[in-house]
Amino acid sequence: EQMDAALRVPEGRQIDPRLSHDGVHFFLIPSFFTTLETLLDSDENFTLVVRTFGSDGPAVAQAIAAWAEECPHPRAKELAPSLEDCYFGRYDEAGSFSLRRIPGEPQASTEEEEAVILDESAALLLMETGPRCMCISDHYIWWRDHSYDPGAGKPVWISLQPALSPHHIFFDDNIHNDATD
């Protein structure tokens, strides 16, 4: 009940349909955008990387773009992602990870339609060139086929040059305090 009330679009308020898929509830919690404004106020160089095992990356990117278009903050538009900022994260049989740009149709995910564009080093470099926002739909099947081992999940890259490494902030819709998850 509390969550439903917190996510409800105030009655009579018109909002961009990318921010509310049913016209009744916000797609992303409003405090998420408050957090983004606070980060922008800090003048820190950061990259927002939204990670999911689902297929909602493009919808999240569109919601963030809608917020950035309407937000009065002078730097908000720097975070506005496009579908070109949406990637599939994929492991190959040897366990090497790469990012592949999501094709024009967000639902398309066959190997033939994906083009490898970034290896792990290039992915880290892209993530460290902020401010920007990108969405990565990670490789659920790889994680599942490796018994949901944390090491087979959503990889996190950390630069060996701490002065260049941004501060990582993670948002997860299904986080548990469980070393095996």
Q: Profile the chain (181 residues) by mean pLDDT over runs of 10 residues.
A: 89 93 92 92 85 88 95 92 89 90 61 66 82 88 91 80 66 64 58
Q: What is the pLDDT of residue 140?
A: 92
The whole-number pLDDT of residue 118 equals 86
Output the pLDDT for position 112.
Answer: 47
Residue 180: Cβ within 10 Å count: 8
| pLDDT reported for residue 19 | 96
- Its pTM stands at 0.82
Torsion sign over Cα 106, 155, 20, 129? negative
Taking the C-alpha atoms of residue 181 and residue 177, their distance in angstroms, rounded to an integer, is 8
Nearest to 7 by CA among 63, 62, 48, 52: 63
User: Is residue 86 within 8 Å of 137, Cβ to Cβ?
Assistant: yes
Q: Where do the structural domains in the chain lie, given as residue ranges? A: 2-152
